[in-house]
Amino acid sequence: MNERIATIRPIARRSRVRLSAIQALLQHLGPGVALSAALALLAMRLGTIGWLQHYGISALTAAIVLGVVFGNTLYPRLAATAGAGVRFSKQSLLRAGVILYGLRVTLHDVSQVGIAGVLTDVLVLTSTFGIAVLFGTRILRLNRATSVLIGAGSAICGAAAVMATEPVVRAKAEQVTMAVSTVVVFGTVAIFLYPAMYAFGHNGPFHVQAQAFGIYAGSTIHEVAQVFAVGRSVNEAVANTAVITKMVRVMLLAPFLIGLSAWFGHHAEHPRTGYAAQRMAIPWFVLGFIGTVVFNSLALLPLQVVTAATSFDTFLLAMAMAALGLTTHLSVIRAAAAKPLLLGAVLFAWLIVGGGVINLLVAEWLN
| Domains in the chain: boundaries | 32-366
In the prediction, which pLDDT does 50 show? 79
pLDDT at 66 over 70: yes
More confident site: 113 or 128 = 128
In the prediction, which pLDDT does 276 show? 41
Q: What is the pTM of this model?
A: 0.71
State the average pLDDT over residues 50-63: 75
State the average pLDDT over residues 222-247: 79
State the average pLDDT over residues 356-364: 91
pLDDT at 14 over 70: no
pLDDT at 337 over 80: no
* Of the listed ranges 24-28, 52-56, 153-157, the one predicted with least confidence: 52-56
Q: Taking the mean position of all CA atoms in its chain, how far away is CA 203?
A: 35
State the average pLDDT over residues 223-240: 77
Spatial separation of the C-alpha atoms in residues 308 and 303, rounded to whole Å: 9
pLDDT at 277 over 60: no
In the prediction, which pLDDT does 16 show? 61
State the average pLDDT over residues 276-303: 75
In the prediction, which pLDDT does 172 show? 85
In the prediction, which pLDDT does 198 show? 86
Percent of the chain with pLDDT over 70: 84
What average pLDDT does the chain have? 82
State the average pLDDT over residues 26-45: 91
pLDDT at 205 over 70: no
Cβ within 8 Å of residue 302, ≥6 positions away? none
pLDDT at 41 over 90: yes
In the prediction, which pLDDT does 51 show? 77
State the average pLDDT over residues 49-77: 81
Among 27-41, 87-101, 192-206, 256-270, top mean pLDDT goes to 27-41
pLDDT at 271 over 60: no
In the prediction, which pLDDT does 278 show? 41
In the prediction, which pLDDT does 270 show? 42
